[in-house]
Amino acid sequence: MNKPASVPEQFDAVVVGAGFSGLYMLYRLRQLGLSVKVFDSAGDVGGTWYWNRYPGARCDVPTTDYTFSFDPELEKEWTWSEKYATQPEILEYLRFVADRHELRSDIEFSTAVTAARWDEPAKQWVITTGGGREVRCRHYIMATGCLSVAKSPDIEGAERFAGPVYFTSRWPHEGVDFTGQRVAVIGTGSSGIQSIPLIARQASQLTVFQRTANFSIPAHNGPAPAETLRQLDEGRDAYRDAARWSRGGVPVEPTDVLAGAASEEVRRERFEAAWQQGELFGILNVFADQGVNPAANDIVAEMIREKIRATVNDPETAEALCPRGHYFGTKRPCLDTGYFETFNLPHVRLVDLRKEPIVSITEDGIETAGESFGFDAIVYATGFDAMTGALVGADVTGRDGLSLKEKWAAGPSTYLGLMTTGFPNFFMLTGPGSPSVLSNMAVSIEQHVDWVAGCLKDLRDKGLETIEPTELAEAGWNQHNQDCAAITLHPTANSWYMGANVPGKPRVFLPYIGGVGAYRQACDDVVTQDYLGFTRTGPGAVRCTDGVIRSMQPDVAMVMEFVNALGLPPMETLSAADARALMAATAENRPPGPEVGEVTDGVIPIPDGTLPYRLYRPAGPPEGPRPLVVYFHGGGWVLGNLDSDDPLCRDLCARSGAVVVSVNYRHAPEVRFPAAALDAFAAVQWADANAIELGGIPGQLAVAGWSAGANVAAVACQLARDAGGPRITGQLLICPAVDSDLTRPSYEENGDGYILTTALMRWFWDHYADPADRGDPRAAPLRGDLAGLPPACIVAADFDPLRDEGVAYARALEAAAVPVRLTRARGHTHTSVTMVDVVISGAPVRAEMAAALGDFFPAAEPQAHVS
Ligand code: N01
């Protein structure tokens, strides 16, 4: 019964949506003793399973996993009849849950929420429902689902068709009988692929209009998997907990098999096993690198295409059904039952819209560029305005009159996919920036609901009223989200994950791809750190611990985790010989770096003997001389050699198009300061004198180095200036050691736990130079005269103890009127930018280094052979 507008109903929380997430949210809020109202425009509970009633609709995560875990009794009472349950069975389950917990009494069905506005003075949300009724609440929670707003059929003439039109996402409750009809299905995503075989059973003619062929594997549906049932039997809690901390929300052990390293036999075996298993998380886990490495991905993709060709009789149709143009997994793969086989039926035909696009829908059919088709019915399986559609479409207005639609005009911006700045007490369940659609939704929903419930309880316990993310925290999370996606192949695809299926929608990777367990940890860490990145207010109180929850590049974090798990002895506890042996051993299995045209070893004569060098000449044209870069390896003047920095030298050579001469200077403690610096200068003099023989262009000589190598490169520049030559055109200093002061803030922040530690740096200095020498500019070039030095590019990594001295050197050079380019290696450690083909996020930093080298040689033609 509607109440008069003057006495608005008040609730602690209003929830929109009565699907999986809304139902559980209601349950949890009630447990807290909060007053809650749930609205849903549907006639009953179910959410996505209420609306998507098309023939063949099923879940495609095994239902034993796609299920609530919060209620052990419920788990005992409900048994799924199949591995992949049908839509009616899942809907029945959600009804059962609603009944069991008597949830319906707080749900108003057939009631759409049309607007919501934050009332700042009252610290309340004002919610307007369909009939103009207003209710007020402290917390507004959108449980509206990620795939709930159908994409409008952006096809010319769609409104003209006179016959019945069906959307898979809004299927008539009474079902549709296509018997004897000529039916068109447009769209071959999960909905199309599930429904086409069943529509084909009834229709007299079925024509499938395919714009993008999709990867699909057979579901092999049947009884619930015996192995899962066994594990659940043995320890339900342990199984559910493993799911919560897994990558996708189903306990699947991530493989460490790399496609390139596996034999053909192992590849086939792994692929066949996944194919036979018929589970998405299996086929996405054939190789550890299939999601990031194009070559690995191609291997899986081609094996799937082989299966399609082996299934579909007509070679032309088979070829058209073979997905091309996107990497496997970058668009949502599908599970099917007899999809490809359907195209062997005589009354089923595929129209490849890439060859023959739709010109228009007409009164009685569809006209393509090549043909006119007559139909009795058209089925649109054309997808959704995913992840943001329901949120921005709901007319949500936050503080200062800003609408969510306006705020997200360039793409969604969230903290943890849960909240967004400017919209206090507004929560999104499985919102953009959370694992959501990349995971088992049941697990992700429970995690979000539990987090929100915990948050509201904490507010209440502390007497606080509002919570909202800070701008810093939100920007940091958005960055982390995009960083996670950037190291995968995902951003290359025109997928709905990227918003690419809806014309005009900003192209942003929407879900969080860092994994369910990693995400849960981030959410937990936020709470442990007193709700890091949130501002919470109450009467007379403001609480805020501002900060960014994850700022390390995700692949760097993975490497750190791996290295820490090895439990290697700290280098500074070893002898120099043992430390060198350990460094060589850890480098043994790393990728070799890119191919270059030519690699030759030689020696440089110096007064005390010779220095070994290795020359890298780029592949391909132009023939003839190239600019020359003399490179010095890292290793604290103690470790390292021509092999240690070989992949990085190849990378620099391939990217910059310069000839790189890597020089092995003499090491401490055998030969101490200033030998390494003097060797570096001698090598530069030699390279300048022999530029032509080395394939270089006389006068185009730069130096480069990493860490201690950057130290001697910087010193060589100062010595060359003092000696009146040779002329050095630029210096590339990667994470340079340029001072002997170990007290800068970056030592405080990063001095422990990121491979190069303060203790190790002290060990290096002790081996290299007497304390009395450490202020000498040939040891600490930051303390020297910097006027008249060559232009510099300095790379400073966030998680490097040496970060601040690198930045200080850049500032000091600038002050001395030396042109400087300071490249911040965001989210990187001292070592990670050099990890070629291991740390993918380092590639853009190395591209910048190569660009800087190009700038040192204005007349040269830099070549980019590495992407
Ligand atoms: O939608 P989709 P869906 N002209 O966007 C095509 C989940 N789900 O409803 O790829 C011609 O995947 C479009 O072509 P293209 C699951 O997460 C789960 O099938 O854009 N064609 C594509 O082929 C899934 O990913 C289950 O070139 C047009 C298709 O329509 C998500 O929901 C079941 C077109 C749309 O595919 C969405 O699936 C069903 C046009 N103008 C869904 N516009 C389970 O099994 C679009 N298309 C649990």
The Cα angle at residue 440 between residues 434 and 441, in degrees rounded to 5: 60
**Per-residue pLDDT averaged across 13-39, rounded?**
98
Residue 48 structure tokens: 């996505």
Residue 866 structure tokens: 């590495």
What gap in Å lies between CA 737 and CA 755, rounded to an integer? Answer: 15
User: Which atom from ligand 1 is nearest to the alpha carbon of 212?
Assistant: 27
Whole-number pLDDT of residue 668:
98
Whole-number pLDDT of residue 686:
98
Whole-number pLDDT of residue 6:
61
Q: If you measure from the C-alpha of residue 495 to the centroid of ligand 1, how many angstroms do you get, rounded to a whole number?
A: 9
Determine phi and psi for 205, rounding to 5 degrees: -140, 135
Give just the sign of the alpha carbon dihedral 520, 522, 525, 530: negative
Looking at 46-173, list the stretches that DSSP marks H as alpha helix, in order from N- to C-terminal side: 48-51, 72-77, 87-100
Give just the sign of the alpha carbon dihedral 686, 687, 692, 697: negative
What gap in Å lies between CA 449 and CA 340, rounded to an integer? Answer: 39
59 C-beta closer than 6 A to ligand 1: yes
What gap in Å lies between CA 57 and CA 334, rounded to an integer? Answer: 12
Query: Looking at ligand 1, which residue's alpha carbon is closest to its atom 25?
Result: 332
What gap in Å lies between CA 137 and CA 462, rounded to an integer? Answer: 19
212 C-beta closer than 6 A to ligand 1: yes
Beta strands in 707-805 (DSSP E): 730-734, 792-799
Q: Is pLDDT above 90 for 620? A: no
User: Which atom from ligand 1 is nearest to the alpha carbon of 193?
Assistant: 19
β-strands 36-39, 107-108 pairing: parallel
188 C-beta closer than 6 A to ligand 1: yes
Closest by CA position to 688, among listed 679, 676, 696: 696
Q: If you measure from the C-alpha of residue 188 to the centroid of ligand 1, how many angstroms do you get, rounded to a whole number?
A: 6
Q: What is the pLDDT of residues 663-685, one digit of tens each?
A: 999 999 999 999 999 999 999 99
User: Which atom from ligand 1 is nearest to the alpha carbon of 155?
Assistant: 41
Residue 382 structure tokens: 């054309």
Query: Looking at ligand 1, which residue's alpha carbon is closest to its atom 18?
Result: 190
β-strands 534-538, 466-469 pairing: antiparallel
442 C-beta closer than 6 A to ligand 1: no
Burial of 838 (0-12, 13-18, 19+ CB in 10 A): middle
Whole-number pLDDT of residue 564:
92
User: Which atom from ligand 1 is nearest to the alpha carbon of 382?
Assistant: 30
Owner of token pair 């299927």: 171
Q: If you measure from the C-alpha of residue 494 to the centroid of ligand 1, how many angstroms do you get, rounded to a whole number?
A: 12
What gap in Å lies between CA 38 and CA 290, rounded to an integer? Answer: 42
**Per-residue pLDDT averaged across 831-846, rounded?**
96
Q: If you measure from the C-alpha of residue 222 to the centroid of ligand 1, how many angstroms do you get, rounded to a whole number?
A: 25
Whole-number pLDDT of residue 860:
46
Q: What is the pLDDT of residues 813-824, one digit of tens each?
A: 999 999 999 999
Share of the chain above pLDDT 90, in %: 96
**Per-residue pLDDT averaged across 631-657, rounded?**
98
Are 291 and 255 in contact by the 8 Å Cβ rule? The answer is no
211 C-beta closer than 6 A to ligand 1: yes
Confidence of residue 781 (pLDDT cuts 50, 70, 90): very high
How many angstroms from the chain centroid is the CA of residue 674? Answer: 46
Pocket test for ligand 1, best of 171, 191, 490 (most atoms within 8 A of CB): 191
Q: What is the pLDDT of residues 412-463, one digit of tens each?
A: 999 999 999 999 999 999 999 999 999 999 999 999 999 999 999 999 999 9
What gap in Å lies between CA 379 and CA 199, rounded to an integer? Answer: 10
Confidence of residue 502 (pLDDT cuts 50, 70, 90): very high
Please report, as a single letter, which amino acid is at residue 518: A
Pocket test for ligand 1, best of 50, 51, 190, 334 (most atoms within 8 A of CB): 190
- What per-residue string of b and e applies to 335-348 under the rule 16 or more CB within 10 Å gives b? bbbbbbbbbeeeeb
- Cβ contacts of residue 159 below 8 Å, gap of 6+? none
User: Which atom from ligand 1 is nearest to the alpha carbon of 335?
Assistant: 45
Q: If you measure from the C-alpha of residue 193 to the centroid of ligand 1, how many angstroms do you get, rounded to a whole number?
A: 9
Pocket test for ligand 1, best of 209, 335, 501, 502 (most atoms within 8 A of CB): 501
β-strands 182-186, 377-380 pairing: parallel
Q: Which helix (H) or strand (E) holds 611?
A: strand 609-617
155 C-beta closer than 6 A to ligand 1: yes
User: Length of the chain, please?
Assistant: 867
Whole-number pLDDT of residue 865:
43
Cα dihedral value 605, 608, 614, 618, nearest 10: -50
**Per-residue pLDDT averaged across 146-173, rounded?**
95
**Per-residue pLDDT averaged across 380-406, rounded?**
97
Q: Is pLDDT above 90 for 1? A: no
Confidence of residue 707 (pLDDT cuts 50, 70, 90): very high
Are 288 and 258 in contact by the 8 Å Cβ rule? The answer is yes
Burial of 605 (0-12, 13-18, 19+ CB in 10 A): exposed
**Per-residue pLDDT averaged across 352-356, rounded?**
97
**Per-residue pLDDT averaged across 579-604, rounded?**
95
Are 517 and 247 in contact by the 8 Å Cβ rule? The answer is yes
pTM of the model: 0.95
189 C-beta closer than 6 A to ligand 1: yes
User: Which atom from ligand 1 is nearest to the alpha carbon of 383?
Assistant: 1
38 three-state secondary structure:
strand
Q: Is pLDDT above 60 for 742? A: yes
598 C-beta closer than 6 A to ligand 1: no
Query: Looking at ligand 1, which residue's alpha carbon is closest to its atom 10?
Result: 212
Average pLDDT, the chain: 96
Whole-number pLDDT of residue 153:
86
**Per-residue pLDDT averaged across 379-399, rounded?**
97
Are 111 and 39 in contact by the 8 Å Cβ rule? The answer is yes
Closest by CA position to 376, among listed 162, 157, 167, 153: 162
Whole-number pLDDT of residue 608:
86
Beta strands in 106-174 (DSSP E): 107-108, 113-119, 124-129, 134-142, 165-167
Whole-number pLDDT of residue 131:
84
Closest by CA position to 295, among listed 259, 319, 336, 340: 259
Q: If you measure from the C-alpha of residue 151 to the centroid of ligand 1, how many angstroms do you get, rounded to a whole number?
A: 9
Owner of token pair 């403001």: 542
Q: If you measure from the C-alpha of residue 345 to the centroid of ligand 1, how many angstroms do you get, rounded to a whole number?
A: 23
58 C-beta closer than 6 A to ligand 1: yes
Burial of 70 (0-12, 13-18, 19+ CB in 10 A): middle
- The single-letter DSSP state of residue 648 is H
Determine phi and psi for 521, rounding to 5 degrees: -60, -40
**Residue 748 CB neighbours (<10 A):** 13
190 C-beta closer than 6 A to ligand 1: yes
User: Which atom from ligand 1 is nearest to the alpha carbon of 500?
Assistant: 20
Largest Cα–Cα separation, the chain? 98
How many angstroms from the chain centroid is the CA of residue 497? Answer: 11
- What per-residue string of b and e applies to 194-223 under the rule 16 or more CB within 10 Å gives b? bbbbbbbeebebbbbbbbbbbbbbbbebee
Closest by CA position to 617, among listed 609, 626, 630, 608: 626
Determine phi and psi for 354, rounding to 5 degrees: -70, -35
β-strands 107-108, 372-374 pairing: unpaired
Q: Is pLDDT above 60 for 284? A: yes
Q: If you measure from the C-alpha of residue 187 to the centroid of ligand 1, how many angstroms do you get, rounded to a whole number?
A: 6
Residue 178 structure tokens: 């296509």
What gap in Å lies between CA 740 and CA 805, rounded to an integer? Answer: 9
Pocket test for ligand 1, best of 58, 84, 332 (most atoms within 8 A of CB): 332
Q: Is pLDDT above 80 for 554? A: yes
Share of the chain above pLDDT 70, in %: 98
Determine phi and psi for 89, rounding to 5 degrees: -70, -40
- The single-letter DSSP state of residue 7 is S
What gap in Å lies between CA 381 and CA 824, rounded to an integer? Answer: 46
735 C-beta closer than 6 A to ligand 1: no
Q: Is pLDDT above 90 for 3? A: no
